Amino acid sequence: MPERDLLGPWLRRFLTEFIVTERNLARNTRASYRDTFRLFLPFASRKLRKPVDRLTVRDLASGLVLKFLSHVEDDRGCSVRTRNQRLAAIKAFARFIGSRDPAHIEWCGHIRAISSKKTMQPSVGWLTRSEMEAMLAVPDRKTERGQHEYALLLFLYNTGARVSEATELKVQDLSLAARRGGHDLATLHGKGGKIRQCPLWPETERALAHEIREREMDAPVFVSRLGTGFTRFGVYRLIERCAAQVPALAGRTITPHVIRHTTACHLVLAGVDINTIRAWLGHVSISTTNIYAEIDLTLKANAVALCEVGQQRPGRSWKEDKDLMAFLKSL
């Protein structure tokens, strides 16, 4: 069997060369693509009763892909969003093969014709200023551990950083120069290798200056009680624990991304233009940031409703409107 028909060589090139070297996709995106095929290939092997290393490109027909997507939703209990992510990875793989081998263009077209399922846009969860201040008040700043936790929470709120951006922050990424007439800045390394700078509040600068004292330049800024850098799980666990101690947040799920939403919404309510917020959060497209603009419009609509003057008068029944009935009959 020609090697160009076997699935294995194509998949190796796709996962180790194309998405890493040519596309330079984010690490989490690479992991998502890898995990898709770690699930898909054993599924295809079982359905086709064929060893994984003998699978061909054309074995992954559109019908098999649809069965796999149903398996993801029904058997594994995943959401529609996850189902669409798995499909996006398979489509990217098909596009990669189709662009390099004309013999597989027709197969590629069948795979790319599979539609994503429509999903409901989740509502933006965010905290009010008082709720965020209550979260910041939870860590006991009289202790070393409490100071670490307070600095991390304050940094997330100040910058709207993603979890990965906070956990990967190094001492060398901080520029604490306001006392010398400059600006206090944090350099964040975002998705896809994109870099942006966020200004820091004086309070954030003080907390971070205390954190990084006597640290090496390549050391992490945020460390756990064990002295090692915070992990993603550690940040999630910290925020979950702090939220549990705020009565106003009882029954709500508070995550690092909720704090990111909080930063954006507070910027909107402060009158910051949406394009500045896009750059602040590191969004590629402004359409991603536009969800926060709706927050302000909703608040304005609620305010107008509260200030409405007078009550609506009961109108006449449509049956009593003789002119209307005559109009309808004339149509």
Question: Of 47, 170, 191, 210, which is the active-site residue?
Answer: 191
260 noted as active-site residue: yes
Shortest CA distance to 189 belongs to which of 200, 204, 173, 207?
Answer: 173
292 has catalytic annotation: yes
Q: Is 104 a catalytic residue?
A: no
Clarify whether 162 is annotated catalytic: yes
Q: Determine whether 257 is an active site residue.
A: yes
Residue 97 neighbours by CB distance under 10 Å: 22
d(CA 307, CA 156): 36
Which one of the listed residues 83, 86, 162, 261 is annotated catalytic?
A: 162
Check if 183 is active-site. Answer: no
Where residue 50 falls (left for φ over 0; alpha for ψ -120 to 50; beta otherwise) is beta
Phi, psi torsion values for 137, nearest 5 degrees: -85, -10
- Of the candidates 91, 95, 196, 257, the residue annotated as catalytic is 257
Q: Looking at 83, 260, 261, 278, which residue is catalytic?
A: 260
Tokens, residue 312: 């609506």
Lookup: tokens for 21: 């070297």
Other C-beta atoms lying within 10 Å of the C-beta of residue 220: 20
Give the Cα separation of 19 and 6 in Å (integer): 20
Would you please indicate which residues are annotated as catalytic (active-site) residues? 162, 191, 257, 260, 283, 292
